[in-house]
Amino acid sequence: MNDSIGIVKTEQAHFDTELRLESGRRLGPLTIAYECYGKLNVDRSNAILVAHAWTGDAHAAGRHHEDDRRPGWWDNMIGPGKVFDTRRYFVISSNVIGSCKGSTGPTSLNPATGRAYRLNFPVVMVRDMVRAQKLLIDHLQIDKLLAVVGGSMGAMQALEWGIHFPDHVRAIVPIAGTGRTSPMSIALNALARQAIYNDPLWKKGNYRPEHPPADGFALARAVGHISFLSDTSMHLKFARRFSRMDGMFDFFGRFEVERYLDYNGSSFVDRFDTNSFLYLAKALDLYDVAWRFDSLEEALSQLVCPSLWFAFSSDWLYPPSQTEEVVEELQRQKKPVDYQLIESDYGHDSFLVEPEKFIPHLKRFLDQL
């Protein structure tokens, strides 16, 4: 019976400590927002960490109140009878540092000044996010995770867990990820950044929260959102339909795809912080699993646990070739690795839009652990 897990609450764990970041700077004290679903078993061996994508949060399943219009971002995956069966697994979802969704980030108070960090917040890398997650897992008194699973930026987190905490995770499942961000992905983020920087309300990060650089931020989100889709999915959803609300020969008339991007960008401004968006984009750009190793080969040699990788045929943000680069090296090193290329028309967002296509592989993998 595939039921929702019902009403859930986001918790916060506070750490009166400083985390040494990859940049050499220190960040602390720290707050990590998280949600948990299901129950730990007696030997605390059934915990699965699900890691969110770029602008995700800790709210992965259930609803915060009865009137919630939308459940958590992976509600179709987490709950009784679902692939992450909460009658069997204890599922943890945490918000990454650098975000604005409850964990320490640019909107948090800087203890040195008593004001929001804004651009005084240090640059964080995905590896720093994972080290902060490790503090949470220790706080929950879990010695070893059954698995770390995540899509997009979550896939990067899963890989970092397997490499840097090999004694504390039994398996990883990176979905629609990459071993290192490509120049094309960096270029797209550069356009998004410039859209924000060019908005006069950005004020070098010192905007008032009630007056964010809405126009620039909406455009930045639209640039990013295009990379999540595919040519085929745009044809399926919009084709070349012209907006019914505009005249075709009105100079400012829009196609449906234009109107959709405007709506998506504008609505996003109301639920995410601009500086946090920029910091997380920087973390994505900087991502390279071989950072501080001599090579990709050396980095992947640290991965000892089984891994299951998913790529999607129409994903052009992190195309299958980028996943296959990592998988082929793991195979060369004779690591326990499985790879599934999923045929889907929905681009990078396939892992959210069509989970039914990879759920059987994921369920089988978890059952074997």
* Residue 80 in tokens: 């009784």
Q: Which residue type occupies 91?
A: V
Among 315, 345, 349, 350, the active-site one is 315
Torsion, Cα of 228, 174, 98, 197 (10° steps): -30
Element (DSSP H or E) covering residue 227: helix 214-228
Specify whether the CB–CB gap between 6 and 63 falls below 8 A. yes
Among 52, 215, 233, 348, the active-site one is 348
* Residue 212 in tokens: 């964010």
Q: Exposed, middle or buried by CB within 10 Å (0-12, 13-18, 19+), for 324?
A: middle
- The rounded distance, in Å, linking the Cα atoms of 270 and 318 is 27
To the query of whether residue 348 is one of the catalytic residues in this protein, the response is yes
* Residue 311 in tokens: 């790529």
> Residue 113: how many CB atoms within 10 A of its CB?
10
Diameter over CA atoms, the chain = 68
Whose CA is closest to 34, among 100, 102, 99, 85? 102
Q: Is the sign of the CA dihedral 253, 256, 262, 263 positive or negative?
A: positive
To the query of whether residue 45 is one of the catalytic residues in this protein, the response is no
Whose CA is closest to 129, among 286, 343, 363? 286
DSSP 341-360: EEP-SSGGGHHHH-GGGTHH
How many CA atoms does the CB half-sphere of 319 hold within 13 Å?
8
Among 103, 152, 314, 350, the active-site one is 152
Q: Which residues are catalytic?
A: 152, 315, 348
